[in-house]
Amino acid sequence: MKPGDKVICIDASIDAGKSEEIRKDFEIWITKDKEYTIREILDNNGIVPGVLLDEIHNFPKFFKLLGRMQEPAFATWRFRKLNYASKSEAEEHEAELVEVEKPAIEKVEKR
C-alpha cells in the first residue's frame, strides 16, 4: 500500500477492552466495506504501521508510546488494497454500486 491507493475496510471492529481508549483517540472511526484513499503511511516507530485516509481527519494527539503528537492512524491490517486498472475503471465500479443500491432504496420508499 502507498499514498493514493484505494483500499476497502475489511475490519472496523473494536476490541471491547480497548473501546474507551479508541474513543478518546479517534473522533471519527472507519466503516467496514467502505472504500478509502490512503493519504499517508506512518511507521509509528516500527510498532504498528498505520494509515491516514483522505476521507477521515482526526485531531492530533500526544502518544506516550511514540513520544510525540500525531494524528491517530488506522492499522494497515484493517484494509485491503483495491486493484483498479485505471481511474475510469474505478469510476465505473462506483457507478455500478450506485445502480445496485438504487432499487433497494426505491423498495424501502414504496413501503
Q: Cβ neighbours of residue 58 under 8 Å, at least 6 residues apart?
A: 25, 26, 27, 28, 71, 72
Predicted confidence (pLDDT) per residue in 42-62, tens digit: 887 778 889 999 999 999 998
30 vs 104, residue with greater confidence? 30
Residue 7 burial by Cβ neighbours in a 10 Å radius (0-12, 13-18, 19+):
buried
Predicted confidence (pLDDT) per residue in 82-102, tens digit: 986 555 665 666 666 656 555
C-alpha atoms less than 13 angstroms from C-alpha of 45 in its C-beta half-sphere: 8
Predicted confidence (pLDDT) per residue in 1-16, tens digit: 899 999 999 999 998 8
What confidence score (pLDDT) does residue 107 get? 47
Look up residue 41 and give its three cell numbers: 503511511
